[in-house]
Amino acid sequence: MVTSSTLASSFETAFRLTPQALPGGGTGPEPQAEPASEPDAEPVFGMAPDAETASMLNGADLLATLDHRDLSAMLDSWPSAAFAVELLPDGGMHTITVNGRLRVLANTDGESAAEDEPDFLAAMLGPEAETYCRCCADSGQPLGWQARRRTGMGERIWRIAVGPVRDHEGVVIRLIGTVDDVTDLWRERTALRANEARLKAALEALDEGVAVRDRAGHLVFSNPAFDRLRSALTLTADSGREEHSAATEPPAERAFDPDARTERLGDGRTVAFRDHPCPDGGIVTIGCDVTVRQQGDWKARHSRAAGQALLDHVDALILTISRSGIVLTVNRFGAAWLGLTPDAVIGRRLAAVLQAAGVARAESELRRGDLPDAASLDTAAVDTDLSAVIAAARPCRRDLARHGRVLAACLQPIPGAFGAVSAVALIGRDVTDQRAWETEARASQAALIHCQRVAVMGEMAAAIAHELRQPLTSVIANGHAARSQLPADKTWHAVASAIDEVCRDAERAAAILQGIAAFVRRGAATRARVCINELVDRVTDLVRKDLERHGIALILDLADQLPVVVAHAVEIEQVVVNLVRNSTAALAQRPADERQVVIVTEAVAGDDGRARVRVAVEDTGPGFGPELQRLFTAFETTKPDGLGLGLVICRTIVEAHGGSIIAEVPHAGGARVSFVLPAGEAERERG
């Protein structure tokens, strides 16, 4: 009788099994097996068993000598579910034994198959089992198939393999089979195939081309988009153009290039390729048609360049600022007004740019030639204004000043998506000259109104002059009559002098009234040869009492042998009187011992070499302040009750006589106003 040890020895010898062939057995090299077939939901006829099972079944000839009991014991010692089938002489088949593992797998009871259980194997493996077993017996070769069976554990997928057992004459007398439950593997592979199908569908739906090459550089996958790009590149290469490396055999040195490379197709399109390394050493190549993108980029660059060129020709400061306060663009005028280069402006915070440029906040009205009053710019206030514009989406206006120039600036929100503020524009116009003109225009308008009042006053003065001339004429006539009636006695000398003075003053008043009337009527005034020193003496007589009343000392510095001038004597006297009265008003607040007025006359040579006469009125007053530049401007006055017309009239009279008048501050202090008249040769008239 065969013992268990003998059976085990015969099993290992007959099936040529090594310990590595059994689950969990030993160490050493594993047998090289061909890839197993994928499990299917339905049986597959003629499917070859895996390598290990085929090795067992091909070496099962020694089992032909074992009786049923020894064969059953042998199958029970197998690590897999197994069964044995006897081929009957009449061509039928009979199940000899089923080991315990197969019964557990099939969830059935019983220790062995009996003669009265002819359909036991068919019940467990399905009706197709007899067909496969018959094929194996007829061919003499191992066969395998898969079957979907419903057991006590639910629906399962089995992999079944059978092999022939021959006698010593080589006749197949028995079949030995194994059954493996591959349900979990089948489910995993089914899920994997579904994922692969979804991934493939997604890649095939992409507009971008995707190709995968293995470590050796062979193309293992490409989607339709990549095939189209490769076909286009091949046609381009056939027409004499360089073909892209992705459309040809891989290069010998497959270095990873992270930068995209582009190829130009024959139809003018541009294709970009980018390689990405795979963990297994392969490469994924992604290609896409970037023609539209490049055209869009070119149009965007062209549009930005055209917009920047347009902004550079605008005479206004234009900056675009991001929501975080960073300057994005600046035009040429803006960089010039800030005194910075574009590179020093772009990329910096707006507050830092304004601070670096020395920009301040303007706070005063301007006149031409004036510098604006400016307050230092608070950088925090700039950030606050910027945040307020972004939050409220409303513009914010400020006047900025830099180096005497004023900029009317406005932070204007730039709308973006969904009405939100995407950026802010700082737009500013240099309004220095405009503001000065506006200020002067307002002043001119006020002066015009004042002139209208003065014109009315002039007409009133003409009427008054006309009315006063008759009484003055009577005063003069009566004075001369009274003077002629006085006796020659010295006792009446003082009275005679007083009457003479009254007559002279009345005659001067009549002459002034006549000049006023002539001035208002725009009539002609007769000019005559005038001695300037005599004219100054007459003015001195007029103003002496007023100077004495104010405690002002009058000093005359008159040059001898002055050339005569051709002038209207009353008008020139009016100029000198006006200058003396201005000095009197300036000395009112000075100490009594410092009040002094000096009248100087001298002969000078003009630029043309001709003789001229210069008359200067100096005083020891406080002098001229910042108003010196506007001293001869109409309605500019430092007197609380002044009209601002005195020096304007003086300049008008002097220039009408061909002369000039200037104001200056002497080195010793005080003030000096002087005018120069050309020496006359004949009598002239002023129209």
Q: What is the pLDDT of residues 394-411, one digit of tens each?
A: 999 988 988 888 899 999
Residue 587's pLDDT is what?
86
- Which of 49-63, 260-274, 406-420 shows the lowest mean pLDDT across its residues? 49-63
Q: In this structure, are 529 and 505 located in the same domain?
A: no
- Residue 599's pLDDT band, with cuts at 50, 70 and 90, is very high
State yes or no: pLDDT of 70 exceeds 70.
yes
- Residue 516's pLDDT band, with cuts at 50, 70 and 90, is low
Helix residue ranges per DSSP H, 206-331: 224-238, 291-312
Nearest to 382 by CA among 426, 345, 445, 344: 426
State yes or no: pLDDT of 377 exceeds 90.
no
Q: In this structure, are 60 and 152 located in the same domain?
A: yes
Q: What is the pLDDT of residues 537-550, one digit of tens each?
A: 988 887 888 888 88
Q: What is the pLDDT of residues 446-492, one digit of tens each?
A: 767 766 776 777 677 777 877 787 788 888 888 888 888 888 777 78
What total of structural domains would you count in the chain?
5
State yes or no: pLDDT of 148 exceeds 50.
yes
- Residue 122's pLDDT band, with cuts at 50, 70 and 90, is confident
- Residue 374's pLDDT band, with cuts at 50, 70 and 90, is low
Residue 640's pLDDT is what?
52
With beta carbons less than 8 A apart as the criterion, state whether 361 and 375 touch: yes
Residue 480 located in a structural domain: yes
Residue 666's pLDDT is what?
85
Per-residue pLDDT, averaged over 240-251, amounts to 41
Residue 394 located in a structural domain: yes
CATH at 266: 3.30.450
User: 571 or 460: whose pLDDT is higher?
Assistant: 571
Residue 614's pLDDT is what?
93
Q: In this structure, are 399 and 533 located in the same domain?
A: no
Give a three-class secondary structure readout of 120-142: HHHHHHCCHHHHHHHHHHHHCCC
- Residue 647's pLDDT band, with cuts at 50, 70 and 90, is confident
State yes or no: pLDDT of 373 exceeds 80.
no
Residue 294 located in a structural domain: no
- Which of 22-26, 47-51, 394-398 shows the lowest mean pLDDT across its residues? 22-26
Structural domain boundaries enclosing 325: 318-430
Q: In this structure, are 515 and 571 located in the same domain?
A: no
Nearest to 631 by CA among 670, 595, 677, 582: 582
Residue 413's pLDDT is what?
92
Per-residue pLDDT, averaged over 587-598, amounts to 86
CATH at 495: 1.10.287
Burial class from Cβ neighbours inside 10 Å (0-12, 13-18, 19+) for residue 493 reads exposed
Residue 235's pLDDT is what?
58
Going by their DSSP bridges, the two strands 553-558 and 596-605 should be labelled as parallel
Per-residue pLDDT, averaged over 64-84, amounts to 85
Cα–Cα–Cα angle for 29, 32, 35, rounded to 5 degrees? 140
Residue 459's pLDDT is what?
74
Largest Cα–Cα distance in the chain? 201
Question: 56-70, 102-116, 607-621, 641-655 — which one is most confidently predicted on average?
Answer: 607-621
Residue 220 located in a structural domain: yes
Counts of helices then strands in the chain (DSSP H, E): 18, 26
Burial class from Cβ neighbours inside 10 Å (0-12, 13-18, 19+) for residue 24 reads exposed
Q: In this structure, are 422 and 447 located in the same domain?
A: no
- Which of 29-33, 207-211, 313-317 shows the lowest mean pLDDT across its residues? 29-33
State yes or no: pLDDT of 11 exceeds 60.
no
- Residue 533's pLDDT band, with cuts at 50, 70 and 90, is very high
State yes or no: pLDDT of 501 exceeds 70.
yes
User: 238 or 95: whose pLDDT is higher?
Assistant: 95
- Residue 35's pLDDT band, with cuts at 50, 70 and 90, is very low
Residue 402's DSSP bridge partners are 405
Residue 313 located in a structural domain: no
- Which of 395-404, 515-524, 585-594 shows the lowest mean pLDDT across its residues? 515-524
CATH at 662: 3.30.565.10
- Residue 586's pLDDT band, with cuts at 50, 70 and 90, is confident
Per-residue pLDDT, averaged over 658-663, amounts to 89
Domain termination site, one of 396, 430, 464: 430
Token pair for 295: 């055209």
Per-residue pLDDT, averaged over 151-161, amounts to 83
CA dist 454 and 308 (Å) reads: 55
CATH at 347: 3.30.450.20
Residue 653's pLDDT is what?
87
- Residue 61's pLDDT band, with cuts at 50, 70 and 90, is low
With beta carbons less than 8 A apart as the criterion, state whether 356 and 344 touch: yes
Q: In this structure, are 45 and 77 located in the same domain?
A: yes
State yes or no: pLDDT of 616 exceeds 90.
yes
Q: pLDDT above 70 covers what percent of the chain? A: 76
SS3 for 393? coil
State yes or no: pLDDT of 247 exceeds 50.
no
Q: What is the pLDDT of residues 272-317, one digit of tens each?
A: 888 889 888 889 998 888 888 878 778 878 888 888 888 888 889 9
Residue 295 located in a structural domain: no
Nearest to 466 by CA among 477, 455, 458, 478: 458
Q: In this structure, are 16 and 118 located in the same domain?
A: yes
Residue 613's pLDDT is what?
94
State yes or no: pLDDT of 683 exceeds 60.
no
Per-residue pLDDT, averaged over 421-431, amounts to 91
Q: In this structure, are 554 and 615 located in the same domain?
A: yes
Domain termination site, one of 492, 523, 554: 523
Residue 302 located in a structural domain: no
Domain termination site, one of 186, 218, 245: 186
Per-residue pLDDT, averaged over 73-98, amounts to 87
Residue 138 located in a structural domain: yes
Q: In this structure, are 418 and 459 located in the same domain?
A: no
User: 265 or 156: whose pLDDT is higher?
Assistant: 156
pTM for the model stands at 0.41
Per-residue pLDDT, averaged over 229-245, amounts to 58
Q: In this structure, are 505 and 555 located in the same domain?
A: no
CA dist 124 and 151 (Å) reads: 9
User: 52 or 229: whose pLDDT is higher?
Assistant: 229
Q: In this structure, are 514 and 537 located in the same domain?
A: no
With beta carbons less than 8 A apart as the criterion, state whether 528 and 570 touch: no
Residue 119's pLDDT is what?
61
Per-residue pLDDT, averaged over 427-432, amounts to 90
